[in-house]
Amino acid sequence: MVLIVALATIISTFLGGFFAIRFKDKLHLILGFSAGAVIGVAFFDLLPESIELAKESYDIKSIVLFIAIGFIIYLLVDRLFSLHGHHQSETEDHCENPNHRGKLGAFTLSFHSFLDGFGIGLAFKVSPAIGWAVAAAVLTHDFSDGINTVNMILKNQGNQKQAFKWLIIDALAPALGVLSTLFFTVSEPSLGLILAIFTGLFFYLGASDLIPESHHHHPTIWTTVMTVFGMTVIYLAIRLAS
């Protein structure tokens, strides 16, 4: 089952990358849905599950602290590597060695994709239902990761050959993350704290990354509808699974 999910992450990332090349004008709707799905998993799945697993050994304040740590970790990664510099001035767009900046951004996105897969593998250690719920959200996010990886290279003076190379790396990264969790076990309290960290990561990804990305230069009405729809789909899927 885990191998099937690993294969699905590869396919989802590749589809996102090809979509970025072929259907550039429709990306905002897909990203809007992806934002809702990621936030929905954080609210309706990871948050309650992390509390349930860790509550025997940790109080709620400690669990919330780890959620904040997860949020801060991705905030620092995002700011330090400037992954989403949409509002750069023309001077900044023509800064020295933009191609290097694109490769650095693509590498960071690929590492994040590895962590996505790692989170899926850990979720399956809790239960198949939780694993599939997390996988569903990550797969939609992997789609947007494929989009972002291609765009990161192309907008920084890279060519399609370079973009495709990084797309391959980014597509394999979450599968490797999933497979890495087959080689160790984690206690329930520790797993609860790890899921708390991923809750914070997902909150940041959805609210501070995917939502702004989805309505950049686009009307916010339909992207907002898609975000709410994404949250609703995840909520219903989790309720049905439970």
Residue corresponding to tokens 């909150």: 203
160 pLDDT higher than 90: no
Question: 192: exposed, middle or buried (C-beta count within 10 Å: 0-12, 13-18, 19+)?
Answer: buried
pLDDT tens digit string along 12-52? 888 878 876 676 566 677 677 777 877 887 898 889 988 98
3-state helix, strand, coil in the chain (%, to 5): 85, 0, 15
Domain ranges for the chain, please list them: 2-241
Q: How far apart are CA 227 and CA 169, in angstroms?
A: 28
Q: How far apart are CA 192 and CA 229, in angstroms?
A: 28
pLDDT tens digit string along 99-150? 666 676 677 678 778 877 888 888 887 778 777 877 877 776 677 677 777 7
**3-state SS class at 158:** coil
pLDDT band at 63 (very low <50, low <70, confident <90, very high): very high
Cα-based distances in Å from 17 to 108, 118, 124, 167, 223: 16, 21, 27, 7, 20
